[in-house]
Chains A and B, each alone.
Chain A
Amino acid sequence: MNCKTAQRQMALAVGEDLSPVESQELQGHLQGCSNCQQTWEQQRRGFAMLQRSRTQEIHPKSDSVWPVLANRLREREVESPRGEFNGWFAALAVTAACVLVFVFSQESSFPVASQPRTGSVTGGTMVISPADLRERTSSGPQKEEVRPNRPCNSAP
């Protein structure tokens, strides 16, 4: 065993982490190597320091964490179906919104054949300005009769 191997083995030996065979080999090396003997003593002192600090008592609370934990698990179980429902609800809402957008976009891309080219829609009633009406009547016979918008109190 060379000194480098011995140094590594010493670090294990201080904590009794060597097999009996390895311990014997190391002991054989230490007997004939004063340098490694010094290192061995230092290793032991360092390890002893670590062990002394270990004696600090650690006292977890005497109360078990289980009652709190059991409550948290129960709460999660109660919450989880609602969470699932919320997830489905959100998914359905998004799908419905997508369908509506699609339907409206399809409708707007196909013009209605009977719809006149000019005019505006006010409150669901087609309103054509008198000037438009004059233009349309002067340009030839119209297939559909469009009445100008009149005030409600005026005579027909």
Chain B
Amino acid sequence: MMTILEPQSQIDESLHEPSGSSDARLVEAARHGDQAAYGELVLRYEQRLTRVIYRFVHNMETAEDLTQETFLKVYDRLGQFDSSRRFGPWLFRIGVNLTLDYLRRKKRRGRWSLFTDRWKERAPDPPVADPRKALDLQQEVQKVLQMIPENYRTVLTLRDLENFSTSEIAAVLHRKEATIRWRLAEARHRFQYYWGKRHGTVLPENFTPSESAESEK
């Protein structure tokens, strides 16, 4: 008899602000030039933001650079922040967009270098087995994730790897929650499909990822 787990209380570490001065108060103070207040906001969110960015870029140095850039951009845009909304999702939206832009630029550069570096010599494959066996699962998962289109992959990363709730993802990506749930289901299907394809496991008979546009609910 199979059982489906009931939804648990979401998220150990959410985008809800911690105790102390409220985010809104700190944002207001920062808007009036109080850099210490902005510093407190940075300290509150930097670790979580760096981790989320790392999930996309897989390089800690790059993740930390992008974290800094995010906070600089947020500081410049404090005047545009709608104080009736929560600061966390707004910050993460800017961070995730900055990261996706970075990845798109990198991809474009990569395509270009395929032409420019075409005839350069490449290092031969090492004759011995890769000693980083322990990382194989992560690498394999990353390869499969890269096969999933960006709008689905982003939702999957935030939900299944970073444990954001669907309502939080909706706030971060500025989409309806129904759209996020749709994308999440599609992303999980695709992940399973490509994983099965790469590893020769049985595929679900009734599912083939389609290129058709999702229905934006």
Contact = CB atoms under 8 A, between A and B. Distances in A.
Interface in A48-79: 49-54, 56, 58-61, 64-66, 68-70, 72-74
B75 interface: yes
B130 to A, nearest CB: 17
B13 interface: no
| Residue of A43, A50, A70 most packed against chain B (CB within 10 A) | A50
A64 B160 contact: no
Interface in B186-202: 186, 188-189, 191-192, 195-196, 201-202
Contacts of A35: 205-206
B207 interface: yes
B60 A43 contact: no
Query: Taking chain B's interface residues, is the majority helix, strand, or loop, or is none over half, making it mixed?
Result: helix
A11 B55 CA distance: 21
A26 B7 CA distance: 14
Interface of A: 3-4, 7-9, 11-20, 23, 26-27, 30, 35, 37-40, 42-43, 45-47, 49-54, 56, 58-61, 64-66, 68-70, 72-74
A74 to B, nearest CB: 8
B42 A52 contact: no
A23 B2 CA distance: 12
Given A7-B207, A70-B39, A16 B68 contact: no
A20 B72 contact: no
A42 B72 contact: no
Given A11-B186, A58-B55, 8 more contacts: A8-B189, A15-B160, A17-B7, A46-B192, A64-B46, A65-B67, A69-B68, A73-B75
Nearest to A13: B4
Given A58-B51, A64-B42, A69-B71, A11 B184 contact: yes
Across the A-B interface, the 7 shortest Cβ-Cβ residue pairs: A46-B192, A53-B141, A11-B185, A60-B50, A11-B188, A39-B204, A23-B4
Contacts of A7: 189, 204, 206-207
B166 interface: yes
Nearest to A67: B39
A70 B35 contact: yes
A50 B156 CA distance: 10
Contact of B192 (A37, A43, A68): A43
11 contacts: A11-B188, A16-B5, A16-B8, A17-B159, A17-B166, A17-B181, A38-B202, A39-B206, A42-B196, A58-B60, A60-B60
Given A50-B161, A53-B137, A60 B71 contact: no
A8 B217 CA distance: 15
Contact of A43 (B7, B35, B138, B188): B188
B27 interface: no
A18 to B, nearest CB: 7
A64 B43 contact: yes
A53 B138 contact: yes
A73 B166 CA distance: 34
A106 B78 CA distance: 50
B97 interface: no
